[in-house]
Structure 1
Amino acid sequence: MLISIVIPAFNEEGNIGRLIEETYAEVPPDLLGEVLAVDDASGDGTAAEIKALLPKYPSLRYLRHGHRAGQSAALRTAVLAARFPVIATMDGDGQNDPRDIAKLMRKLGPEGHEPAMVAGIRTGRKGPGSRKLASRFANWIRDKVLADGCPDTGCGIKVYRRDAYLALPYFTSMHRYLPAFFLTYGHEIAYEAVNDRPRLRGASKYTNLGRALIGLYDLVGVSWLRKRTLVPPVSESAAGASLREAGSGEVRTKARVASQGG
């Protein structure tokens, strides 16, 4: 199965080109259908780095926002443009390891089956201690409110079905709540341990305080939206065909957790 690999980037000069090269070197050819690099209106050399690689990799696509819109918007831009039914995402800073994509894909259900998403859980995180503590606290608060069972909402590497993603409501910062919404819309999720690497160039675009303030604001809205979302089971019958289920309206509160070893 061929997949679309999505890499959002904002001011990732020195990281994005290296990550794209590594992606083509490490992801098996029978998986890698295309790479979509989305430049969220960077003001550095991000665009030049990506464009320099276009002649080398015919399946590499460069998309650029006319103004900065955020990571969730960049992901949606790429998913809408993607040509393949499965999406794999990585952050543009190079901290996600492209070799983990194949491992996550092995946990994804076959077409029409669950789980519809496999999310990474970072092991041996390389970020500052204050950031790791803030992340643990944020994950704890979020799980208390949403009960989505996601142990690492900030991990950027995930694989999921394109059609399932496009059925979700879109809003700024939604990328941090994808597990909760996949569950709300009747899907199962698996988790898998993935590698975490240090950022080689530049600095994170998020601060602990900034993420906390936005996170609390979003959490209220996400909680309300989940409670107001009803996805009923749908069945269909037609002449010459047996009754078949077209979906599940059950909101699952327990994600199917894959092995987190190795």
Structure 2
Amino acid sequence: MKAVLGGIALALAATSALAEELVVLVDTGTEMPMARFERGRLAAGIHKDIGDALAGALQRQARFLALPRKRLVTALAAGQADVLCSYRQEWLPGPFGWSQPFIPIDEVLIADRGVPAPRAVADVANQPVGTVLGFAHPEMTELLGTGFVREDSPSTEANLRKLAAGRMHYALIGRTFLDYHRKTGDFTLPIHPPLPVRSYMGQCAVSFAGRLPLAEVDRAISRLRKDGRIDAILARYR
């Protein structure tokens, strides 16, 4: 009888522990400062810091599920994870709830000092511009049309290496990525002041099949914003 009761207690404890998790989905193709992976597991970066902070605000334990970009929609829709953050609805088609916007994302155009400083997007018409494969840049397409010549690379870091090697002169990059790689000394090429292209706020996609309702996630985000936690996290990488 004691053995049976003990088994039940263990099962209940395991169920309780599972219920107290917040499973955060992360794209394995993401680079620092957003994410660093070790042996397939998320080890550091903004995604981890925000996931841990969000879990803490929800009084849960964060667990990170790292998957390739092509599997994100299916996994989130199936409830394999609760949230996927720093995305926008137009990037992630699917039956998800969307949190309030709270992660600032600034896209800039950079140019090396070997060419004149672009004063407007139109100045790079018909010139190769470094982009990351699979990422859309609607403002560039709208302004330049067929004059937007993409030079696709597998990652932002690859684009920075191309710039440093003189293989191209222009690239689109998130300001957070640029600031981080300058801070760490990974990117030392002299460039003109970055030209702002667009600014927006990232959100969290919330699975309807997950453990938490959207309203609860939103309340937790509001608390993190109010106490300055989001700003403090981002400041560490600038």
The structure carrying a bigger helix percent of its residues is 2
- What is the TM-score when the length of structure 2 is the normalising length? 0.25
Radius of gyration: which is bigger?
2
Question: Which structure has greater strand proportion?
Answer: 2
Q: TM-score, length-normalised on structure 1?
A: 0.24
Higher relative contact order (CA 8 A, sep 6+): 2
